[in-house]
Amino acid sequence: MANSITSYFYEGEMKNSVSLKNEDAVSFLVHDDSNIILDIDSFDKNNKVSVVVGNNSIVKIRLLILESLDSFEINANVPRGSSFEFIIADFSNEIGLFKSLINLEGENSESSIHLATLSNKNNKKKFNLSFNHKVGKTKSLIDCHGVSKDSSLIKIDGISHIYENANKADANQKVRVILFDKESEAIANPILKIDCNDIKAQHACAIGSLREEHLYYLLSRGIEINEARSLITLGYLLPIAKYFDDKESEKIKEIIGGVF
């Protein structure tokens, strides 16, 4: 039996909260010339989401993930003159696979993914974030920050594909992960698939251990080690909170501060 699909239609200017509980698959359909903010505030173990953005529209989807997920998959199509922003604040115990595919299908379309993820204990988290620049004058950004502690793993695959004849496309990837412990691990695979010459494409990847001088500086000011580690984590992950409303921002700060 085929999975049922629940469709939501949006137009004009509005903000809305959506639950994915007990949904096989969900489709968000946005009308032309709209400005929409969607907060996904609850999940099932497996979720599949599709987003169809209208022409000359602005769409922002925000996820505060506190529950473990077996899988999450989102696909979005962004036409000419439209913008799609995808924000992920992940503080769950485990994510089997988080997968996104965003198709930039019209000139002057753009999209960005902002991810902050915290992994601890022996949790494993895997993200596959992809953009397809199908036409020229399109722009994409993958911006990821992670903290891995204890014996946990963070794995991030970023894939930006610029198609043939997609002149003036601009793809950018940034991945930064701090390893707090000897057993913690992070893997980043920034992949650029370039089939066109007249483009901009760049990636920056930094994975490294907690810098001891930063820790020693805080300890020398009389701060306890757990508080020092918490402050460093806050400074690294808290910027994701600026994309959320005040209530969610305070929740994010509380979660990060309570890890240590």
Residue found under tokens 């089939």:
195
Average pLDDT over residues 230-244: 87
Tally Cβ neighbours within 10 Å of residue 67.
Answer: 13
pLDDT at position 2: 46
Residue 134: phi and psi, rounded to 5, are -85, -20
Which residue from 61, 49, 59, 57 is spatially nearest to 24, judged by alpha carbons? 49
Identify the bridge partners of residue 7 per DSSP, sorted by sequence position.
27
Would you say 210 and 181 are in contact if contact means Cβ atoms under 8 Å apart?
no
Highest mean pLDDT among 108-112, 182-186, 203-207: 108-112
pLDDT surpassing 50 at residue 185: yes
pLDDT at position 1: 38
Question: Over the stretch 77-113, which tens digit does the pLDDT of each residue have?
Answer: 999 999 999 999 999 988 999 999 999 999 999 999 9
Identify the bridge partners of residue 14 per DSSP, sorted by sequence position.
36
The rounded distance, in Å, linking the Cα atoms of 94 and 259 is 15
Angle between helices 225-237 and 212-220 (to 10 degrees): 120
Q: Tell me the residue type at 51.
A: V
| Token representation of residue 24 | 């096989």
- Largest Cα separation within the chain, whole Å, is 63
Local confidence band at 258 (pLDDT 50, 70, 90 cut-offs): confident
Residue 4's SS3 state is: coil
